[in-house]
Amino acid sequence: MPDHSGRTGGRAFPPTRQSVVAATRGDDADARRAAFEVLIALYWRSVYSHLRMKWRAEPADAEDLAQEFFARAMARGFFDDYDPARARFRAFLRTCLDRFVANARRGERRLKRGGGAKALSLDFAGAERDLAAATMDAAPESDGDAWFDRAWVRSLFADAVEALRAECAGTPREIRFRVFERHDLAPGDGTPRPGYRALGEELGLPVTQVTNHLAWARRELRRLVLDRLRSLSGSDAEFRAEAEDLFGVRIP
């Protein structure tokens, strides 16, 4: 059973400038499977959120539908018809999902628990907790598509943060991740974010070192997010448009 525990952690992720989207349609079966694993890792939360929030599926049904969707996408080549000139891949995947769910419901083929799909190891309980927390903060007018996009951005960033952690682990850069984690990933339970001085005292670093480490970690995180974005885009134009939306920067 493949492990899609919700992250690629920087290990499964392909090197930069290689499109995962293109690889899902390639002839090499191994590359195809690997590409699907990356896609699933970064999209399953979006798919689950979409099923829950737009299609109002119960958690158990949403789990089954998500599993079935990815299983069929792999087996039947859902993404083979994708044309980068016509839409962003994200929008195409969402359309495929909508069509899949509409067909499933119209044909009264409601999937029984397990549904015949090969079970993927996905943390649906965690996704449900995230969804509950995000629902509390969401604007009332948030529609199903917005949930899909938001969950996708969350997966993208979460995966990049994990990759950053893995990159720093066991190296002298571990302290840089520690600074980043304490400052930028601080829990939002009402406790104020630690200041540079306080963080320096806590970690035994001068303030300038704290700001330098933080700047390095952010720069590296930006690179990792952009790497993922590039691989998940169907074309260069799509990548540039996504990067502009996310960071407001124009990629040369």
Partner 1 sequence: MTLPEHALAHLQQVLRTPESAGERYTLHEPVGQGGMGTVYRASDRALGRDVAVKVLRGDVADAEAAVRLEREARILARLEHPGIVPVHDVGTLGDGRVFYVMKLVRGRRLQEFAGAAPRSDVLRVVLRVCETVGFAHAHGVVHRDLKPSNIMVGAFGEVLVLDWGIARVVGTGRAAARGEARPGLAAPASSGDPLPALHGVPEPDTAPGTVLGTPGFMAPEQARGEPALVDARTDVYGLGAILRAVVVREGDGRGVPRPLEAIWTRALSPDPAARYPSAADMAADITRFLDAQPVAAYREPLTERAGRVFRKYQTAILLVLTYLAVRLLFLVMRGY
CB of 96 or CB of 131, closer to partner 1: 131
Tell me: does residue 179 bind partner 1 (CB under 8 A): no
CB 32, min distance to partner 1, A: 27
Pick from 41, 117, 225, 229 the residue near partner 1 by CB under 8 A. Answer: 225
Answer for which of 20, 47, 57, 161 binds partner 1 (CB under 8 A) is 161
48: Cβ contacts below 8 Å, ≥ 6 apart = 62, 63, 66, 122, 124, 127, 131, 151
Burial of 216: CB neighbours in 10 Å, binned 0-12, 13-18, 19+:
middle
Can residue 100 be called a binding residue for partner 1 (CB under 8 A)?
no
Q: For partner 1, give the closer residue by CB, 71 or 163.
A: 163
Using CB under 8 A as the binding rule, whether residue 130 contacts partner 1 is answered as yes
Rounded to a whole number of angstroms, the minimum distance from the CB of residue 35 to partner 1 is 23
Amino acid at 80: D
Which 3 state secondary structure label does DSSP give 85? coil
Interaction residues for partner 1, span 4-43 (CB under 8 A): 6-7
Least CB distance to partner 1 at residue 189 (A): 9
- Name residue 65's amino acid: L
Give the 3-state DSSP-derived string for 165-205, with helices as H, strands as E and coil as C. HHHHCCCCCHHHHHHHHHHHCCCCCCCCCCCHHHHHHHHCC
* Minimum CB–partner distance for residue 252 and partner 1 (Å): 9
Site for partner 1 in 38-77 (CB under 8 A): none
CB of 228 to partner 1, least distance (A): 13
Position among 12, 84, 91, 157 found at the interface with partner 1 (CB under 8 A):
157
Amino acid at 217: A
- Provide φ and ψ at 85, rounded to 5°: -75, -20
- Does the protein bind partner 1 through residue 169 (CB under 8 A)? no
CA dihedral 248→228→52→102, nearest 10 degrees, is 100
Number of residues that bind partner 1 (CB under 8 A): 36
Choose among 166, 173, 175, 174: nearest CA to 199.
175
The encoded tokens of residue 59 equal 């958690």
For 24, how many CA atoms within 13 A lie in the half-sphere containing its CB?
27
Residue 211 within binding range of partner 1, rule CB under 8 A: yes
Q: Does 237 bind partner 1 (CB under 8 A)?
A: no
Residues that bind partner 1 (CB under 8 A): 6-7, 126-127, 129-130, 133-134, 137, 153-154, 157-158, 161-162, 184-188, 193, 211-212, 215-216, 218-219, 221-222, 225, 244, 246-250
